[in-house]
Amino acid sequence: MRQVKRKFRLKPSIVRKCKVLGIILVIILGVYLFYSSQINSLTKLGYSKEASKNILFQFKKEYVLSIGKNKTLNAAFESNDYKEKYLDQYTKIDYQNQKHLIKNINTLIAKGYSNDTISMILAHGSDNDVTQFAKRDKINYLEEFLSVPYAKLSNYDRYVDYSNATGEDDETTVLAVNLDMDKENYKDAIVVKEFSTDMLVNKHRSLNKNFQPDDLVSIDTEYAADDTQKGSRIAVNAFIQMYKAAKKEGYDLVINSSYRSYEEQQEICDTYRDLYGENYVKNYVAMPGFSEHQTGLSFDIGSRNSNVFKDSEEYDWVLENAHKFGFIQRFPSKYEAITGFRSEPWHYRYVGKKIATYIYEHDITLEEYYALFLDTE
């Protein structure tokens, strides 16, 4: 039997359907390629995928391309709080990495703050500080205090109060309040828990009863007045370097007092209270927990050649050279108002060479150095 070869043919209706399907696929592919090239032009500029998507849906691509890379604008398009009417302002306000950035910017714009003032507000506080601040009525002349680089938004009211009470200028006011000098001595002190060579302990920053330096060692009587002296190893080693350098030039240094525990400081307070009364203790002796001697980083330095250190040749030598070994004179007479302590020419504090040199060269206190560079709270 002869087989009949039959060509395989699709029904015309199916062919038609396939063509339509093909056209649809080509269109989808085209749209997809167009869309991703649009997104790419924005992501290449530095916008996130999420922000780029929203920029396209809001038909703001041309606007954004004309602005270029802008982190605040990116955050605005990433945020549910984006408001089209504030678009121009977003581009002029400095970005900060804060969770409620756009929401807070909206509130501050609505309160009537200028773009520059909003940038300043954002730069001087945390997300929470700004959120709290945004709830307040508008404050005029904010730049009075906030133009000081290390001013804190959260301290604003205290700046106003301190400045009104003392008549001090902006910079002095910000420094004083940041250092809690507007609070009573020994009251509501911050507790410093971590040992470090740049730690700040004073009448507003205290140590716990059980605090002691991580590396407490005994000091050899070659360098100390008696065999009970102790200190942080790093400070003791630095002192030995200084002692030897001084010796080479004919000066004879000695440590008269060094590490003191909380209990030992308590005993000192009690003794002086019995001898000279409460007022003397208040003015001249640090309360237990508030003495730098508890850090192990402070030494009362003397001269083996003279009973009065300040009148000795050793004093002049230490004043000019201590920073090279990482020590600073901690309580100079002209800075009593900042340190909170009467002048103690003999009291030296180890802070490391870098900080000691800065403090020496700029003639400032450890308090000021802390406010400028170390205060991250």
Rank residues 102 and 286 by Cβ distance to Zn ion and give the closer one: 286
Residue 257 CB, nearest distance to Zn ion (Å)?
6
Residue 342 CB, nearest distance to Zn ion (Å)?
11
Residue 293 CB, nearest distance to Zn ion (Å)?
6
The string of DSSP letters for 66-111 reads HH---HHHHHHHHSTT--GGGHHHHHHS-----TTHHHHHHHHHHH
Residue 298 CB, nearest distance to Zn ion (Å)?
6
> Which one of 344, 367, 368, 377 is the catalytic residue?
344
Closest Cα partner for 306 from 345, 276, 342? 345
- Alpha-carbon Rg for the chain in angstroms: 34
3 state DSSP class of 236: helix
Residue 353 CB, nearest distance to Zn ion (Å)?
21
Closest Cα partner for 351 from 363, 339, 365? 365
Give the largest Cα separation in the chain, rounded. Answer: 137
Distance CA 49, CA 138 (A): 36
Rank residues 142 and 301 by Cβ distance to Zn ion and give the closer one: 301
- Catalog residues that contact Zn ion under the rule CB under 5 A: 300, 347
Residue 39: enclosing H or E segment and its boundaries?
A: helix 12-43
Rank residues 175 and 366 by Cβ distance to Zn ion and give the closer one: 366
3 state DSSP class of 223: coil
Rank residues 106 and 265 by Cβ distance to Zn ion and give the closer one: 265
Burial label, 237 (beta-carbon count in 10 A; 0-12, 13-18, 19+): middle
Q: Is 344 a catalytic residue?
A: yes
Q: Which residue is nearest to Zn ion (CB)?
A: 347
Residue 331 CB, nearest distance to Zn ion (Å)?
8
Rank residues 26 and 308 by Cβ distance to Zn ion and give the closer one: 308
Distance CA 246, CA 229 (A): 20
The string of DSSP letters for 134-180 reads HTSPP-S-THHHHTSTT--GGGHHHHHHHHHHH---HHHHHHHHHTT
Rank residues 155 and 257 by Cβ distance to Zn ion and give the closer one: 257
| Residues labelled catalytic | 344
